[in-house]
Amino acid sequence: MYPAGMILLLLSLVVQSSLQYQVKPFTSLINGITCISDPCKLYDDVTNEGLAFNPDKFVGNRFEITPSFDHIPFNYFFNRMDIYYYSNPSLGYGLPHIWMYIYYPTPKHGVHLTFINNYKVSQSDDDTIMLSMIVLNAKPYNNTAKEIPLLELFSPTTSDFATQKTFISEIKFFIDTEPISFSALPIVFMSPNQTLEPDTVQPSLNLSCTVVNNGTFHWTWSGPGVSISNGVMKLADTTRTSILMLSNVSAADAGDYTCSASYLAMGNNSWGVINPNTNTSKISLTLFSSVSATANTVIIEEGKDVTLSCIFTGYLPINYEISWTDSRGMKSSDGIIANGDNTQFMSQRGSPSTSPAVQSNLTIASVKETDSGLYTCTMSGTGSRDTILLIVFRLVTQIELEPWNINRKARS
């Protein structure tokens, strides 16, 4: 048995080996501006692979391209494009939902598209990547006219991927004597059923899912951060990675998340379903919180004021209550509780570090011996609590009599 990645690679090589030759536009209309082929940055054979990203050398962010070709052989299929684009999934750079119309055979008609070499794409990319896109419902060219626009390629102004940034460096077009078939394998996730446990408090977190398959995909997410409208689909890309960004992270965002990927070919008006269709993966997000008392045991003289303190750190609820109870489990009524800004209810969001923390103080004025015992500080919405032992002692004044006073009292 071959591993899944090797099978995908072999399939891609077989598909590409059947391609006949590349055709180059002699002119193009790019975002409303006419571009002659040789100086046109999309067809100048400069792919920018391995070079530092410079947006001036790319076409973006939204694009509409109408290339014109000359001398297309009769009964050939336009069936493949190689697109060189800047890929940086963590920053939201990738390929959006692409629409395409083909002019011949007439009338102009929309087609469905998918990718055949997604194994080249990684969520850690920071480079210009080439993806090969094929036309699933290609038709043979049936016109002998010269210097004609053959197709339109554009990203829609309204898209499911509106937060995504797209920059294209080069496009290469290919024709063949027959259409290309696409073999869809069952969807497999690169890292299924993940557990994420950040060790420091961060204001935002990225959850990501990646499939090992070739193709184009539609993504959906569910989970605590999604249901409270805190999650933003930062990159629902059409390749093989989806990133869910959680902002203002708090304890409420912890829990199980599910990402679902479906084979869907990109189309001009709708997605075309490719079977087998959907698979899901789970991510368990664990967010830590902790509490520590500034002193586990406090010893103080009766009649003085005493302050007990607890410090809470980690991912805390956005709105929470800190309460204190005594050894009988009753809320303390004799003390004054001060949580940071002298209110019992606080609001805090994630910060880049565990400092500043939230400190809660219970102050008891003029303590008595009967105040001795265990005091517990608790934050609602978390399992964080700590206990402090308070010992109140009473000073006893001892009077020592001199010996001569004792003898004198005995004689009298």
Please say if the pLDDT value at position 362 is more than 90. Answer: no
| Predicted pLDDT at 320 | 74
Token pair of 115, please? 């990718």
- As a whole number, mean pLDDT of residues 11-24 equals 58
**Do residues 274 and 297 share a domain?**
no
Please say if the pLDDT value at position 242 is more than 50. Answer: yes
Question: Does residue 137 belong to any structural domain of this protein?
Answer: yes
**Which 3 state secondary structure label does DSSP give 58?**
coil
By mean pLDDT, which of 6-10, 38-42, 326-330 is the weakest?
Answer: 6-10
Please say if the pLDDT value at position 202 is more than 90. Answer: no
**pLDDT > 70 in the chain, percent:** 74
Task: Count structural domains, the chain.
Answer: 3
Range of the domain at 302: 289-393
Mean of the per-residue pLDDT values of the chain: 77
Question: Does residue 186 belong to any structural domain of this protein?
Answer: no
390 pLDDT tier (thresholds 50, 70, 90):
very high
Question: Does residue 172 belong to any structural domain of this protein?
Answer: yes
Distance CA 261, CA 65 (A): 29
Query: In a 10 Å sphere around its CB, with 0-12 CB exposed, 13-18 middle and 19+ buried, how is residue 221 labelled?
Result: buried
Please give the order of strands across the beta sheet that includes 272-285.
194-196, 272-285, 255-265, 217-222
| Predicted pLDDT at 37 | 54
**Do residues 295 and 270 share a domain?**
no
Most confident of 3-17, 44-58, 156-170, 251-265: 44-58
Question: Does residue 56 belong to any structural domain of this protein?
Answer: yes
Question: Does residue 136 belong to any structural domain of this protein?
Answer: yes
Strand 194-196 versus strand 272-285 pairing type:
parallel
User: Which domain CATH number covers 168?
Assistant: 2.60.120
Please say if the pLDDT value at position 223 is more than 60. Answer: yes
Distance CA 53, CA 12 (A): 27
Distance CA 411, CA 97 (A): 114
**Do residues 232 and 373 share a domain?**
no
Cβ–Cβ < 8 Å for 15, 117:
no
User: Which domain CATH number covers 253?
Assistant: 2.60.40.10
By mean pLDDT, which of 15-19, 37-41, 131-135, 261-265 is the weakest?
Answer: 15-19
**Do residues 249 and 317 share a domain?**
no
pLDDT digits (tens, 9 = 90+) for 267-314: 765 556 676 678 899 999 998 888 989 899 999 999 999 999 998 888
Please say if the pLDDT value at position 203 is more than 60. Answer: yes
**Do residues 129 and 220 share a domain?**
no
Most confident of 120-134, 223-237, 289-303, 335-349: 289-303
**Do residues 13 and 127 share a domain?**
yes
Cβ–Cβ < 8 Å for 400, 310:
no
Question: Does residue 215 belong to any structural domain of this protein?
Answer: yes
Q: What is the DSSP letter of 251?
A: G
Amino acid present at 276? P
Question: Does residue 399 belong to any structural domain of this protein?
Answer: no
**Do residues 91 and 210 share a domain?**
no
- As a whole number, mean pLDDT of residues 127-147 equals 81
pTM: 0.64
- As a whole number, mean pLDDT of residues 34-55 equals 84
Distance CA 235, CA 92 (A): 6
**Do residues 117 and 159 share a domain?**
yes
| Predicted pLDDT at 296 | 93
**Do residues 85 and 144 share a domain?**
yes
**Do residues 154 and 8 share a domain?**
yes
Question: Does residue 17 belong to any structural domain of this protein?
Answer: yes
Kind and range of the H or E element at 166?
A: none
| 208 CB-near residues (< 8 Å, 6+ apart) | 89, 123, 241, 242, 243, 244
Please say if the pLDDT value at position 71 is more than 80. Answer: no
**Do residues 208 and 262 share a domain?**
yes
**Do residues 147 and 39 share a domain?**
yes
Please say if the pLDDT value at position 156 is more than 80. Answer: no
By mean pLDDT, which of 8-22, 25-39, 97-111, 313-327 is the weakest?
Answer: 8-22
